[in-house]
């Protein structure tokens, strides 16, 4: 196919922007063939009468670009017209065709949600990473983060989202949902994702975040008492949970206190890996607030975001380079 003037001009520019580098690395680390194989059985086929469906590859690329930049359906449609870098990533030449509109992407999202394909994509990517030797499954770190939801009642129903709830963290109240994750203790890659309302206690989801093959599990002080819960009685995993700060303070200045501090420091160094996926999702992908109404849609999006975060965190080993990904 002949190169258009805009593509030729863009390819000859001297400066490579951060967006160019970001999309180039996402392009390199994403197993596109695996994603297409996962979605294709549920995607409408062409050949019938009427308007033909847009190619699956293009819709997947548009959807992934939307998740990577934290954009709405309308926002990614506008970005396709505004950014040559995003157009090249999706594979669109405006000189020959128009970009898919927001409604088309909306229908594609609903297809993924209806058939739970975001979870299937998450599992397929993890299987791909496991084949690369990046998921050893010997230990799991569990944690949860709050994701805010719109608290306003200025809508048609005059009510907040009934599936979201407020939760107190420290001395501040937050309204929204929680993303609970189980992370491989060796690589820091997410292997389990659970979405709940904001008022659900972290410890109630801890056992569900384990894959069952690990020998040890790590959690912060919010998981105190996990060994005494009914669902943990039959488990053989050894829990290493942080001591509550109030108990550590009582031991300050003693020999036992110094030993406890060394032990807590060692556990904290391992637990630190669980913060990396949260950093990618919230700071690089800019997902700090629930975009949709209801837990089902938002949890489906979490599967996509953490699948992509696994690719971002694993990109050095997949590419055999020491470069760092940026947005």
pLDDT one-digit tens code per residue, 269-295: 999 999 999 999 999 999 999 999 999
pLDDT of residue 27: 92
pLDDT of residue 62: 96
Question: In this predicted model, which residue has the larger pLDDT, 250 or 184?
Answer: 184
pLDDT of residue 122: 97
107 plus 244 within the same structural domain:
no
278 plus 152 within the same structural domain:
yes
Residue 67 has pLDDT above 80, yes or no: yes
| Domain assignment of residue 84, yes or no | yes
pLDDT tier, 180 (very low <50, low <70, confident <90, very high otherwise)? very high
Q: Which range is least confidently modeled, 4-8, 213-217, 260-264, 291-295?
A: 4-8
162 plus 250 within the same structural domain:
yes
Residue 320 has pLDDT above 80, yes or no: no
Tokens of 130: 């496991």
Residue 321 has pLDDT above 50, yes or no: no
102 plus 148 within the same structural domain:
no
| Domain assignment of residue 322, yes or no | no
pLDDT-above-90 percentage for the chain: 59
Q: Which range is least confidently modeled, 10-14, 275-279, 309-313?
A: 10-14
CA distances 262 to 217, 250, 251, 265, 272, Å, are 19, 16, 13, 5, 15
pLDDT of residue 12: 61
Q: Which range is least confidently modeled, 36-45, 88-97, 174-183, 284-293?
A: 88-97
pLDDT of residue 171: 85
What pTM does this model have? 0.89
Residues in CB range of 69: below 8 A, 6 or more apart = 75, 76, 79, 86, 285, 286, 327
The DSSP bridge pattern shows strands 139-148 and 216-219 to be parallel
User: 3-class SS at 145?
Assistant: strand
How many other CB atoms sit within 10 Å of the CB of residue 157?
9
C-alpha 183/C-alpha 194 separation (Å) is: 12
146 plus 93 within the same structural domain:
no
- Residue 240: φ, ψ to 5°: -120, 95
How many other CB atoms sit within 10 Å of the CB of residue 49?
5
180 plus 107 within the same structural domain:
no
87 plus 198 within the same structural domain:
no
102 plus 221 within the same structural domain:
no
| Domain assignment of residue 129, yes or no | no
Residue 54 has pLDDT above 50, yes or no: yes
Among 36, 30, 109, smallest CA distance to 73 is for: 109
Question: In this predicted model, which residue has the larger pLDDT, 25 or 114?
Answer: 114
The DSSP bridge pattern shows strands 139-148 and 172-184 to be antiparallel
**Under 8 Å between Cβ of 99 and 55:** no
Residue 95 has pLDDT above 90, yes or no: no
pLDDT of residue 322: 42
pLDDT of residue 323: 45
pLDDT of residue 11: 60
Residue 256 has pLDDT above 90, yes or no: no
88 plus 215 within the same structural domain:
no
Q: Across 111-125, 158-172, 260-274, which has the greatest mean pLDDT?
A: 111-125
Domain tally for the chain?
A: 2
pLDDT of residue 232: 83
Q: Across 146-155, 174-183, 230-239, 261-270, which has the greatest mean pLDDT?
A: 174-183
Q: What is the mean pLDDT of the chain?
A: 88
C-alpha 131/C-alpha 60 separation (Å) is: 23
| Domain assignment of residue 125, yes or no | no
| Domain assignment of residue 98, yes or no | yes
Residue 317 has pLDDT above 90, yes or no: no
Tokens 């709405």: give the residue: 72
187 plus 99 within the same structural domain:
no
Task: List the domain range (segments joined by +) for residue 62.
Answer: 5-115
């Amino acid at each position: 196919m002949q190169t258009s003037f805009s593509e030729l001009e863009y390819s000859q520019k001297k400066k490579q922007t951060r967006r160019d580098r970001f999309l180039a690395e996402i392009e390199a680390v994403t197993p596109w063939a695996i994603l297409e194989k996962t979605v294709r059985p549920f995607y409408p086929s062409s050949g019938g009468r009427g308007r033909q469906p847009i190619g699956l590859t293009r819709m997947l690329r548009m959807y992934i670009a939307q998740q990577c930049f934290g954009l709405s359906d309308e926002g990614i449609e506008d970005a396709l017209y505004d950014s040559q870098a995003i157009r090249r990533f999706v594979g669109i030449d405006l000189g020959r065709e128009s970009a898919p509109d927001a409604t088309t992407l909306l229908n594609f999202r609903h297809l993924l949600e209806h058939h739970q394909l975001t979870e299937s994509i998450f599992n397929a990517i993890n299987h791909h990473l496991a084949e690369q030797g990046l998921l050893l499954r010997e230990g799991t770190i569990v944690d949860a983060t709050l994701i805010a939801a719109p608290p306003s009642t200025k809508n048609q129903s005059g009510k907040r989202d009934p599936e979201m709830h407020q939760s107190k963290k420290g001395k501040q109240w937050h309204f929204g949902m929680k993303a609970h994750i189980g992370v491989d203790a060796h690589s820091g890659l997410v292997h389990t994702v659970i979405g709940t309302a904001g008022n659900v206690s972290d410890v109630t989801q801890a056992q569900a975040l384990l894959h069952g093959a690990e020998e040890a599990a790590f959690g912060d002080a919010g998981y105190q008492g996990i060994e005494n819960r009914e669902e943990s009685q039959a488990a053989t995993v050894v829990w290493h949970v942080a001591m509550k700060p109030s108990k550590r303070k009582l031991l300050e200045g003693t020999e036992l206190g110094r030993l406890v501090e060394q032990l807590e420091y060692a556990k904290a160094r391992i637990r630190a890996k669980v913060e990396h996926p949260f950093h990618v999702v919230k700071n690089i992908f800019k997902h700090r607030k629930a975009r949709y109404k209801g837990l089902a849609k938002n949890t489906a999006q979490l599967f996509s975001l953490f699948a992509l975060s696994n690719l971002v965190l694993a990109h050095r080993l997949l590419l055999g380079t020491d470069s760092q990904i940026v947005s």
